Amino acid sequence: MKLEQSFMDFMLQHQERHHRSYNFLVLLEAIQTAAKYIQYFYQTGSMKNVMGEAGVTNIQGENVMKMDDIADSIVLHYLKRSNQVICAITEEEADPVILNEEGGRYFIYYDPLDGSSNIKHNLPVGFMFAVAKRNLEGPEDNHLRRGSELRAAGIFLIPNGVFTLALADSGVFRFHLDETMTYVKPDSSDNLIMPENPKSWELSFNASNRKTFSAAVQDWLEENEQKYSFRYMGSLAGDFHRLLSNGGMFLYPAIVNHSKPEKNRPKGKLRLLYEADVAAFIAREAGGIAIDEEGRDILDIEPESPHQRTALYVGSKPLVEEMRKRLRG
């Protein structure tokens, strides 16, 4: 009889190999439980009429969907119950949420449901998260951490049931939800590395924004796009998921040339802490890289506020480095 390796078994081995505490296991257990409940609500949501808008806007002025709220409450609930989290920064709450200030060991940043425009079509969305650790020795314990200080980041692709997890200095691993609702690691799935061979590389960006990009970015696209296939599903979680296996580049550049200047987004659209850093951290562990509009490494950006935005270019090193040169003119 063949038994698959469960996600928690994989993590237990990992922690023991690295002589680490079990606190991180308790945290990840809470996170995966939350992901399964989001999965359940997403799959059954059409019957319960929760796939529509909530009728309110969030701190960022964006329409909140009922599923955004449901997913956020689920994650907060299990994080709180875990007792491991000092403070959580979530897309759906204006301020950081204090959970266990004294006993917690971790800071967590998350987007409970990424790709909201896919909800009403039941198409892929994601629960994206990143984890930093309390500074156990030092005096200063700031919840706004640079991506380079993260210990882990992951994406649950929902409802597809695939979980990608990057662990600091250890690599990227994939787990699949089986019939018993257990995330398991198939024998065939080893450390995930972005392919170096450009044959499979793809480009991913919202093409309708193209004329709004800087001249440098438009020129690069003009010169290079014929070399690659183009794929875009409108959820970073899904688009990045694909990119990790195929290589290439996902870009959400700064919007600087909009015909209605009030619609420009010189800082880009995606959020640093729970979107760009998650992708950048996973990319780094898979051999890739991520930069912003100035060509800075995303993981080096010092966050100033919970919901700050950034432009994002993430993917295979040679492509992103080419873009970096252009951006720096």
- What residues make contact with ligand AHG under the rule CB under 6 A? 62, 91, 111, 114-117, 206, 234-236, 269
Locus of tokens 């070399």? 227
Q: How far is the CB of 207 from ligand AHG (least distance, A)?
A: 9
Q: Which does residue 277 touch among ligand AHG, Mn ion, none (CB within 5 to 8 A, set by kind)?
A: none
E strands, the chain, in order: 5-6, 53-57, 63-65, 85-90, 97-98, 106-114, 125-133, 152-158, 162-167, 171-177, 183-185, 202-204, 229-230, 248-252, 270-271, 289-291, 309-310, 312-315
Q: Which of 177, 81, 168, 84 is nearest to 127 (CA)?
A: 177
Residue 235: contacted member of Mn ion, ligand AHG, none (CB under 5 to 8 Å, by partner type): ligand AHG
Contacting residues toward Mn ion, per CB under 5 A: 91, 111, 113-114
Q: How far is the CB of 199 from ligand AHG (least distance, A)?
A: 25
CB closer to ligand AHG, 91 vs 184 = 91
Q: What is the dihedral of CA 10, 81, 53, 59, to 10 degrees?
A: -100
Q: Which is nearer to ligand AHG, 170 or 209 (CB)?
A: 209
Residue 30 CB burial class (10 angstroms; 0-12, 13-18, ≥19): buried
Residue whose CB is less far from ligand AHG, 11 or 312: 312
Q: Extract the tokens encoding 105.
A: 């060991």
| C-beta of 221 vs 277, nearer to Mn ion | 277
Task: Return the one option of Mn ion, ligand AHG, none that residue 71 interacts with (CB less than 5 to 8 A, by type).
Answer: none
Give the nearest distance from C-beta 271 to Mn ion in angstroms.
Answer: 7
Q: How far is the CB of 5 from Mn ion (least distance, A)?
A: 30
Residues 284, 240: Cα–Cα separation, whole Å: 13
Contacts of residue 224, Cβ cutoff 8 Å, sequence gap at least 6: 203, 322
DSSP assignment of 88-114, as one string?
Answer: EEETT-SSPEES-TTT--EEEEEEEEE
**Which listed option, Mn ion, ligand AHG, none, makes contact with residue 286 (CB within 5 to 8 Å by class)?**
none
Comparison of 84 and 90: residue with beta carbon closer to ligand AHG: 90
234 contacts which partner out of ligand AHG, Mn ion, none, CB within 5 to 8 A by kind?
ligand AHG
Query: Other CB atoms closer than 10 Å to residue 66's CB: what's the count?
Result: 18
The CB-of-232 to ligand AHG minimum distance in angstroms stands at 7
Identity of the residue, 85 or 236, whose beta carbon is nearer to Mn ion in the bound complex: 236
How many CB atoms lie under 10 A from the CB of residue 59? Answer: 13
Q: How far is the CB of 276 from ligand AHG (least distance, A)?
A: 10
CB nearer to Mn ion: give 113 or 283: 113
Q: Which two tokens stand for residue 62?
A: 């964006």
Kindly state the smallest distance separating residue 190's Cβ from ligand AHG, in Å.
28
| Residue 206 touches which member of ligand AHG, Mn ion, none, C-beta under 5-8 Å by kind | ligand AHG
Residue facing Mn ion at closest CB distance: 114
